[in-house]
Structure 1
Amino acid sequence: MDIGFLGLGLMGSVMARNLAAAGHSVRAWSRSGGAIEGVTMVDDPTALFGAEAVVTMLSDDAAIREVVLDRKLLEHARPGLVHAVTSTISVAFARELAQAHAEAGVAYVSSPVLGRPDVAAKGELQILAGGPAAAIDALRPIFAVIGQRVWDMGDEAPAANATKIACNMMITMAIEAMAEAVVLTEANGVGRDRFFDLILGTLFGSRSYQVYSANIAQDNYEPGFKATLGLKDLRLAKEAAGEQGRALPMLDAVHGRMRETIEAGLGDRDWSAMARYTIEGR
């Protein structure tokens, strides 16, 4: 399959490499340049829209607006092209993208992913796909390489983005829950390893608890997903809640805690460093 790829950060670079290694023809553009084995780099992102499909993994709403909309890349799309945006973006911007693609006659799928760079490197991302069924089906050769499973979120693209934002919100709630539990248990002589062995073997055995309890137990917050990006996603969740006129008190709490974590100088650490801030205040 002839694929264009926009954005070669920690996630995008391994996704593009995996697609090339699987035998797809991949051309890519990145604002920061660089090179990926098996991937042909281009100087102008316009060139990518002559492909059968384009995958975008740029960092946020502003980056996608600047690269895709402001440069009017959709005007250069070949007939039949499908555009998959795998970034975590706001629900409001997803609606705007869906409208812009409809006006340009370009098929659009919101397909944010669950998984860190190590999961992406293994091609085991969980893909949340929202958009027309035919467009999602056209992307399945791509999804089969980068992901372990495609979760159908329905015909409306923004539904996938709302789901991804909700998932990330829940992960931060799990991190804060574990941190607050450690405050109680350590103060009463129960070590972190012993406590986490208990909860993982009984009440909370999900992947989020497995991954982030290990970070907390080892007091190791090497970045897999930076706290600054976590704060961005929590902001998107607050915006989505605000659109509905709803107050979400747990969301308010973790958003405030993540902001305090960054203000304490931990913005470049993994977002689970929020636990360190809760436990130690630093």
Structure 2
Amino acid sequence: MKIGIIGLGSMGRGMAANLVQAGHEVVAWNRSGGEVAGVTMVATPAEAMQGEVLFTMLSQDETIEEVIVGPGLLEQATKGLIHVVSATISVAYAKKLVDLHKAAGLTYVSAPVLGRPDVAAAGKLNVLAAGPAEALAKVSPALEAMAGKVWDLGPEAPTANAVKIACNMMITMAIEGMAEAVVLSESEGCGREQFFEVMLGTLFGCRVYENYSGIIAKGEYQPGFKATLGLKDLRLASEVAKASGGDLPMLAAVHKRMGEAVEAGNGDKDWGVMAGYTIATAKGATAKDATGG
């Protein structure tokens, strides 16, 4: 299959490499350049839109608008192209993209992914896919090349975006929960490594707790998924909650706390840095003391 990719960041690079390994013909455009073995780099994003399928890993609504929609590239794409957006975008913008693609003779699929860059490189992402059944069937070989599992969430593309936003919201709640648990357990002499050993060995032995307890225990927040992007995703979750009329107090709390952590100078660190901020402020230290900000 001839596949285009727009966006070769830390996630897109791994996805592209796995598509090549699966035998697909892959061309790519990236704003900041770069190369991936086996991928043909093209000079413009329009050139990446001349195949059967296009994947984009552009981090937010505004970037897709700037790179693809605003310049009129949908109208320049090969007719019948299936555009798969694998980044976390808003539900409202996904609905707009469905209509724009239909008007241009294209098909839109939402397929945001769960997993960090190392998971993308290993081809083990959880792919949350939604869109017309015929389009999902056609892109299935490409999705499976980068996935540990593909989750079919039905014919309406924005459903996948809502599920991804909800999952990211839950990750931030887990991060904040671990931070607050550390504050309690350390206050009575239990080190965080020992606490996390108990936590993982009893009731909380799942991937999110395993990944982020290690980050929190070390207090090292090198970027895997930046806090600024985590804050963006919590804003998207708040927008969905407002549109649904739901009162979600835990969401409001983690949204506020992530915002505070970013404002303290931690925006380029891993979003687990929210835990360092919570622990520091609870103990009367500065966020800089805990996170190296």
Counterpart-to-counterpart distance in 1, 2:27 and 2:68: 16
Counterpart-to-counterpart distance in 2, 1:13 and 1:161: 21
Structure 1 residues 75-112: Cα deviation after superposition (integer angstroms, max 9, x where no partner): 12323321100010000000000111111221111000
The match for 2:83 is 83
Q: How many residues align?
A: 282
Task: Tell me the CA shift for residue 73 of structure 1.
Answer: 1.6
The match for 2:36 is 36
The match for 2:225 is 225
Structure 1 residues 168-193: Cα deviation after superposition (integer angstroms, max 9, x where no partner): 00000000000001000000011111
The match for 1:123 is 123
Structure 1 residues 162-213: Cα deviation after superposition (integer angstroms, max 9, x where no partner): 0000000000000000000100000001111111111112111111011001
Unaligned runs of 5+ in 1: none
The match for 1:211 is 211
Counterpart-to-counterpart distance in 1, 2:104 and 2:80: 12
Structure 1 residues 194-250: Cα deviation after superposition (integer angstroms, max 9, x where no partner): 111111121111110110011111112111101111000000001111111222110
Q: TM-score, normalised by structure 2?
A: 0.94
Q: Does 1:190 align with 2:186?
A: no
Task: Tell me the CA shift for residue 21 of structure 1.
Answer: 2.7
The match for 2:20 is 20
Q: TM-score, normalised by structure 1?
A: 0.98
Alignment of 1:104-123 (within 5 A): 104-123=104-123
Counterpart-to-counterpart distance in 2, 1:22 and 1:110: 21
Counterpart-to-counterpart distance in 2, 1:258 and 1:247: 19
Counterpart-to-counterpart distance in 1, 2:266 and 2:44: 35
Give SS of 1:214's match: helix
The match for 2:4 is 4
AA at the equivalent of 2:80: G
Task: Tell me the CA shift for residue 133 of structure 1.
Answer: 1.1
Structure 1 residues 28-65: Cα deviation after superposition (integer angstroms, max 9, x where no partner): 01111222211111111111221011001111100101
Give SS of 1:203's match: coil
Unaligned runs of 5+ in 2: 282-286, 288-293
Counterpart-to-counterpart distance in 2, 1:77 and 1:46: 7
Counterpart-to-counterpart distance in 2, 1:277 and 1:6: 34
Give SS of 2:19's match: helix
Counterpart-to-counterpart distance in 1, 2:14 and 2:246: 38
Counterpart-to-counterpart distance in 2, 1:268 and 1:224: 10
Give SS of 1:28's match: strand
RMSD: 1.0
Counterpart-to-counterpart distance in 2, 1:56 and 1:151: 19
Identity %: 59
